[in-house]
Amino acid sequence: MRTARFTLDPAFTVGQVNARIFGSFVEHLGRCVYTGIYEPDHPSADEAGLRTDVLDLVRELGVTAVRYPGGNFVSGYKWEDSVGPVEERPRRLDLAWHSTETNRFGLSEYIAFLKKLGPQAEPMMAVNLGTRGVAEALELQEYANHPSGTALSDLRAAHGDKEPFGIKLWCLGNEMDGPWQTGHKTAQEYGRLAAETARAMRQADPSVELVACGSSSQAMPTFAAWEATVLQEAYDLVDHISLHAYYEPTDGDVDSFLASAVDMESFIENVVATADHIGARLKSKKKINLSFDEWNVWYLSRWEEHSKTFAPSDWPEAPRLLEDNYSVTDAVVLGSLLIALLRHADRVTVACLAQLVNVIAPIMTEPGGPAWRQTTFFPFAQASQYGRGEVLDVRVDSPTYETKKYGETDLLHATAVRAADGTVTVFAVNRSRTATLPLEVALNGMELTTVTEHSALADADPDARNTLDAPERVVPHPVEGTALADGTLTAVLEPLSWNVIRLA
């Protein structure tokens, strides 16, 4: 295999990493909430009904912003149902996931969950712009954020939360371009509603940060035209436009699956181009940033088949939905998607791995039983821990391979982040399923002398997984032989591997 190469130089950077790029997503879907983060009868449950074993794993994962309560769920959500005495909260049909929502876990419980995670965990609240509108968004904002002295702020205090929740980051609906969405709208309809909601919320609090709905994927027939129309209406009223993307191997095409980040990077660059075009047309000096607030590996085709089996009269509570069990291959792809996000840190300032527990998630639980890390847990945790600082501009010279979806693609996918103390972490994926990949990195203008760690997530069995019976079957392992001498880093990347190389 020809050696892959790139150069790192602190004079050539992408941008500063926003901590929100390591966000996640909690939706009232399947077992994400109930028997996921919240299970009052669990042996580990605290006084609020939160599973402390899950809290520990979420802290280890390094999650920052947590988007809530959806997702498709939010487009039928009545926030009033989720506050006040739990025993008085109404049960509702959830049209999005054909389930019954008990509302035992609601707005106050969500904020309490974030507080127990620690100060790095920030609320990211979605408002319902499917079946509701400006008035309800304002009422939710007043209940959550106004200090006191109004009907809704005093109601919050009467419910036991005297201090306001301080939610600054708000999503203006969810996937409103999707025909599957309750209250689906055209771009013109949604753009006007988003603009009016944003204007009103800013009247209540000029400091709020607002995310307008972009396309649900780059494959949507309205992609780019949707963003252009929405931003034409709301450009100066919002801060972010959202992107959503999920990846799976289709028709057994693993080589294209391993190159999924090619699509993600294209998606990001196309949305940036569209947003900047509208900004230029409006003669605005403002730049719209990107909120990639749903992304993951998701075996969506399995869900589509399963959804056909729903009995019209069956509305279960917290059913087992979308509980994908991830392989080593899936984890390597997820690591590559993280690299894609970091490579665009100048414009991607929020990102949410969907979702946090049980539902296409890095953490799995059993009701009344243990919690464990999926294979995908490790790339996210390592990126969150070591990917803080300034992203260096990485342009690889790599051997390539041919893919059906994306044509000729680099075998090496990589980025590097320089921390405030001068240490550098290289994140690298070898997409080859069969061959090791020699790597050489020239280090210019940096006083780096030592390789402090090279770990890899890889396995002789690319389908190896962590399960209830074998929760630690797959973990990162140390790699020997990686060296730094005379300003050059040399390493060998195992086949089909996610690599973290730390330099000091």
Q: Catalytic residue numbers?
A: 175, 294
Sign of the torsion angle spanned by Cα atoms 228, 230, 233, 237: negative
Q: What are φ and ψ of residue 272, in 5° steps?
A: -60, -45
Q: Which tokens hold the place of 365?
A: 């639980």
Report how far residue 87's alpha carbon sits from residue 493's, in angstroms, rounded to the nearest whole number: 55
Three-class secondary structure of residue 265 per DSSP: helix
Q: What are φ and ψ of residue 304, in 5° steps?
A: -60, -40
The letter for the amino acid at 132 is R
The letter for the amino acid at 118 is G
Report how far residue 66's alpha carbon sits from residue 393's, in angstroms, rounded to the nearest whole number: 28
Report how far residue 84's alpha carbon sits from residue 343's, in angstroms, rounded to the nearest whole number: 44
Sign of the torsion angle spanned by Cα atoms 242, 248, 250, 255: positive
The string of DSSP letters for 172-207 reads E-S-TT-TTSTT---HHHHHHHHHHHHHHHHHH-TT
Torsion angle of the four alpha carbons 392, 397, 400, 403, in this order, in degrees rounded to the nearest 10: 40
Residue 426, beta-bridge partner list: 416, 501
**Nearest to residue 337, comparing CAs of 264, 271, 410, 428?**
264
Q: Which tokens hold the place of 5?
A: 């190469």
Report how far residue 331's alpha carbon sits from residue 309's, in angstroms, rounded to the nearest whole number: 29
Q: Determine whether 490 is exposed, middle or buried from the number of CB atoms within 10 Å of its CB (0-12, 13-18, 19+).
A: middle
The answer to whether the CB of 331 falls within 8 A of the CB of 10 is: no
DSSP symbol at 2: P
